[in-house]
Structure 1
Amino acid sequence: MSTESAAVREAIAGELRLMNPGVRVSRSLARELLDPEFVEVGASGRRWTYEEMLAELPGMDGAAEGGPRYQPSDFTGVLLAPGLVHLTYETTFEGNRARRSSLWRRQGTATYRLYYHQATPVPPECG
């Protein structure tokens, strides 16, 4: 297996873990997946920092056990440089679609952590 495919698989696994309600409600589990310099531009257009995301994630969509969950699809990924993976994919949540782009960073011997995330809503009329 190539280093690129292993890195991409690790980043995809991290994305999927972040969609798990048990991780979303646990500050300690979410902290393992978010880079300390994490930034997100959400589908709402809001900019989120590391501390803001850790504080708000338990109350965000997809965090309720037994509630609606994000349905991801069409993951693609590439190793941009050693320790830096770019993912793109799409999610559906309660009928709303978003196209997503993430950068996952590994520093030293640590695991990959989400460094940057952006979500763009997909209007219903778009295919």
Structure 2
Amino acid sequence: MHDEAEQVDAAVAAELRLMDSAVRASREQAMSLLDPEFVEVGASGRRWTYDEMLAALPELDGAAGDGPRYEPSHMTGAVPAPGLVHLTYETSLGGRRARRSSLWRRSGDTGEWRLYYHQATPVPPGQP
């Protein structure tokens, strides 16, 4: 996959998989999507490492099959460098909105896309 549109499509598909409650509840599936050097700055301001996220993900919002699910919108992507895709989008979950930014990088070993960095910023109520 060398075409920029194909790279963005692959990262979008992986991002959407991470929002799936079955993936969030499965350490094995989540491991396949997170880069070993993964870092997140969550909407709460908390900094998460790879190990912390894998341990907490089954208990975080969006993991319960019968609970609220992330509703993404306005997802766009760009390829700032070979093997790197930057996604931006917005989510809604249980009435809370966040603007999100993700950096996906292709693994040199497997060629799979893995989430390297993610940041969520809460959108205050009443903001467009």
Residue 117 of structure 1: aligned partner? 118
CA deviations on 1:17-71 (whole Å, 9 max, x unpaired) are 0000100010000000000000000000000000000000000000001211000
Residue 28 of structure 2: aligned partner? 28
Unmatched tracts of structure 2, length 5 or more: none
Does 1:52 pair with 2:52?
yes
Amino acid at match of 2:51: E
Amino acid at match of 1:122: V
Residue 18 of structure 2: aligned partner? 18
Instruction: Work out the CA distance in 2 between the residues paired with 1:65 and 1:126.
Output: 29
- Partner secondary structure for residue 58 of structure 1: helix
The alignment's TM-score, normalised by the length of structure 1, stands at 0.97
Unmatched tracts of structure 1, length 5 or more: none
Instruction: Work out the CA distance in 2 between the residues paired with 1:53 and 1:2.
Output: 30
1:77-88 equivalences under 5 Å are: 77-88=77-88
Runs of 4+ in 1 over 3 A off after TM superposition: none
- Partner secondary structure for residue 125 of structure 2: coil
Amino acid at match of 1:52: E
- Partner secondary structure for residue 101 of structure 1: strand
The percentage of counterpart residues that share the same residue type is 69
- Partner secondary structure for residue 13 of structure 1: helix
Instruction: Work out the CA distance in 1 between the residues paired with 2:41 and 2:12.
Output: 19
Instruction: Work out the CA distance in 2 between the residues paired with 1:87 and 1:118.
Output: 11
CA deviations on 1:89-120 (whole Å, 9 max, x unpaired) are 00000110000000000132421100000000
1:40-119 equivalences under 5 Å are: 40-108=40-108, 109-119=110-120
User: What is the alpha-carbon root mean square deviation over aligned residues?
Assistant: 1.2
- Partner secondary structure for residue 116 of structure 2: strand
Q: Aligned residue pairs: how many? A: 127
Tell me by how many angstroms 1:2 deviates.
6.8
